[in-house]
Amino acid sequence: MIVTNISSLNDRTPTIPGVPPGTSDAYAQQLDGPVKPGNLSLPGIAQANTTFRTTFAGGNDKPASIVVTGGAFTQADITPSSLPSSMHIDIVGTGSAGGTDWAYAAVKAIPDSASRDILLWGPGIDSTLQENQIQLLTGWLTLRPGSLKSFPSAVANGLTAMRFTVDFTSQPSAKTPVIIVVNKNGETVASTGEVFAIPAPKFTPDAVVNAASFKGGPVVPG
Amino acid sequence: MVTLFGANFGPAAISTLALDSNNHVTTALADTLLAFDNTLAPMIYTIAGQMSAVVPYNVAGKISVNVRLVYSGAASAPVPVSVSDTSPALFTLNSSGSGPGAILNQDGSVNQADHPAAQGSVIVLYGTGLGVLSPLPKDGEVTSVTAMSPQKVKVTIGAPSSLTPARRLRL
């Protein structure tokens, strides 16, 4: 689910209404790209502090599960490190599963009809990255074991991509953001809202019918 | 011409047939594409959960084709569908697939029980599933000017016990 509203209590604690009941992760991520303060139309946003490290409630090594119940407030305490980040996911791309093609654009959609490759570019996102350092915060996708590799033919902003394959373990019921988290050498970075899992078009053979009679059966040229 | 029912595709408001600069029916409509193997089909309409398109002529002679629907860049899994030379059916007045046919009398009026065609007059039927035509048009070509004939379909009029072949069949 995408929550589009955020407000602030008197003590400036951000409040996010409309979070569905269940268990959630909560984290603070710096607005240092690809989304930057200037991309948001919020009063005073230009003065936003973007020099801190992505931090999960409960700590990056063992994030706390935030249990949300209907009609009630749930608090998630996050104390970000003020150290600047040495690692960052600058760009996210996609390609065919196990293939050599790749592309990146503003927002990437991964239909649930097939596995896909995800490509990451950024400082610290290099050949030292291990699969167990990558997490996909979605219930639909898993990283295919053994698929992570450096992909030298995909260079962007002077950086070589790291590429891995994701498989669907179940079908999303709606467009769902895929949050990619990299936790490496004690530092955590996240890509939020750049890739979405989407339910692909679905139909069955008997749902293809003659346009005049609406009866199923073989298709005919013309 | 086929209609396809499914999920996760189509705009909320119906989008209907459009012509490209070559006066051919376009194969993309409101971000919706339908491919038979690797050939895109001319699109008739698309709306959430339902669309209609013209099956490309190059499926002729095949036993089956993989049909793939693409909406907003998201492709369905390929769905194998069998192919036949013909599967004729007439469009109906109420677009339900049954009941009185959508038929015009010689004067252009709608043929109805209380407004029948005169014996020996010309009527116009609207149908699909007639198969390959001769001469073969291009996919999406608007063929209103050129007379074309289906290769394997005949039209007869009357009760089964007294069928009368139509004198001439033109499209």
The helix, strand and coil proportions of chain A, stated in percent and rounded to the nearest 5, come to 5, 35, 55
Contacts of A214 in chain B (CB under 8 A): 3, 96-97
pTM for this one? 0.73
Return the residue matching tokens 């109906």: B92
Beta bridge partners of A165: A117
Name the pLDDT band for B84 (thresholds 50, 70, 90): very high
Contacts of A199 in chain B (CB under 8 A): 7-8, 74
Bond preceding residue A21 cis, omega within 30 of 0: no
pLDDT for position B99? 92
DSSP, collapsed to helix, strand or coil, labels residue A38 as: helix
Q: Which of A55, A47, A61 lies closest to A26, judged by CA?
A: A55
Bond preceding residue A34 cis, omega within 30 of 0: yes
* φ and ψ at residue A119, rounded to 5 degrees: -115, 135
Q: Report yes or no: B55 and B1 within 8 Å, Cβ to Cβ.
A: yes
**Structural domains present in chain B:** 2-82 (2.60.40)
More reliable by pLDDT, A192 or B84:
B84
Q: Report yes or no: B89 and B95 within 8 Å, Cβ to Cβ.
A: no
Query: What residue segments make up the domains of chain A, in order of their start?
Result: 1-84, 86-201
Degrees to nearest 5, angle at CA A8 with A3 and A13: 105
**A221 touching B (Cβ < 8 Å):** yes
Q: Do B75 and A212 touch (CB under 8 A)?
A: no
pLDDT for position B17? 96
Degrees to nearest 5, angle at CA A87 with A81 and A92: 120
How many angstroms away from the CA of B22 is the closest CA of chain A?
A: 19
User: How many Cα atoms are found within 13 Å in the side-chain-facing hemisphere of B72?
Assistant: 18
Of A31-35, A212-216, B78-82, B104-108, where does mean pLDDT reach its minimum? A31-35
* B111-161 residue pLDDT tens: 999 999 998 899 999 999 999 988 888 999 987 655 677 777 888 887 666
Q: How far apart are CA A168 and CA A197, in angstroms?
A: 9
CATH number listed for the domain at residues A86-201: 2.60.40.10
Beta-strand pair A187-198/A108-111: parallel
Q: Do B77 and A200 touch (CB under 8 A)?
A: yes
Q: Report yes or no: B74 and A111 within 8 Å, Cβ to Cβ.
A: yes
Contacts of A105 in chain B (CB under 8 A): none
Name the pLDDT band for A11 (thresholds 50, 70, 90): confident
**Sequence-separated (6 or more) residues with CB below 8 Å from residue A84:** A51, A52, A53
Q: How far apart are CA A77 and CA A10, in angstroms?
A: 17
Taking one residue from A and the other from B, the number of pairs with CB-CB distance under 8 angstroms is 147
**Pick from A199, A210, A222: CB nearest B89:** A210
